[in-house]
Every structure is written in C-alpha cells, then in structure tokens.
Amino acid sequence: MKTDSEFCLIDETSHRVTVRFEGQELNLREGENLAAELLAMGVAPFRRTPVSGAPRNPFCMMGACFDCLVEIDGATRQACMVEVTENMEITMPSVNENSDA
C-alpha cells in the first residue's frame, strides 16, 4: 500500500477518528465519504480483481462501478457509499466474495 497522496484538501477539517485499512491505522475525517478519505490518505489499491488480481481504486464515486469494494467489519461494501465512523476495520475484499457483496 502506497501512501503519498495525490489529492489535497481545500477547506475545513472536521474531527478525525481512527480506522484501520489492512491493519494500518489511518486518521480520517469523521462522517466524510470513506472512499474519498482513503484516496486522500493515498490508499492504493482498494482491492484486487477476482479475475486477474489487477489493482483497482474508485472510478465513479457514485455507487455505479463497484471498483471501490472493500470489506468493512466483515461485510463487503462500496466505500464510496459509506461514511467514516470510528474504529472501522477495513480490508481488501477476499477475492471469492467480490461478486456477491
């Protein structure tokens, strides 16, 4: 996982909370969009495809492409449709669970 961000924040920073992505602690803005916050932290990739293992990151940010799938506390979710809450335990989805989220 690479963590030098290619994104910058333009305004207010709300309260930050700790979550873990693949075991690594990250401080994200509480209540903000999870996919956006992970991108801003430089997380890449979010997942690997079940077909070829290719790396993927969010593509549409509107719930349509499913490239932002992650596992949150055991359930496969679209990161771009979830808001950050404290102590989220996030991992890449295990490959065979990708298609039946």
Partner 1 sequence: MHEADLIIIGAGPAGMAAAHTAAGTGLSVLLLDEQQRAGGQIYRDIERSSKTRGELLGKDYIAGLDLANGLNHKLISHIRGATVWQIEDARLVTFTVNGKATQATGKRLLIATGALERPMPVPGWTLPGVMTAGAAQILLKQSGIVCQRAVLVGTGPLLYLIAAQMVRAGSPPLALVETQTYNNRAFAMRHVIGALRGLRYFVKGLGLLAEIRRAGIKRYTGAADICIEGHNRAETVHFTSRGREHRIEAANILLHHGVVPNTQVTHSIGVIHYWNEQQRCFIPRRDDWGRTNLHDVFVAGDGSGIGGAKSAELSGRLAALEIACDLDAIGNGDRDLQATPLRTALSGEMAVRPFIDRAYPPFEGSLLPADSTIICRCEEVTAGDIRRHAKLGCLGPNQTKAFSRSGMGPCQGRFCGLTVTELLAQANHSTQEETGYYRIRPPLKPVSLGELATLADTETKEAAK
> Other CB atoms closer than 10 Å to residue 23's CB: what's the count?
9
Cα dihedral sign, 26-28-31-37: negative
36 is an interface residue for partner 1 by CB under 8 A: yes
Residue 33's SS3 state is strand
Interface positions with ligand FES (CB under 6 A): 35, 58-61, 63-68, 78, 80
72 is an interface residue for partner 1 by CB under 8 A: no
> Other CB atoms closer than 10 Å to residue 58's CB: what's the count?
23
100 is an interface residue for partner 1 by CB under 8 A: yes
> Which residue ranges make up the site for partner 1 (CB under 8 A)?
2, 5-12, 32-33, 36-37, 39-40, 44-46, 49, 51-52, 54-67, 69, 75, 81, 83, 98-101
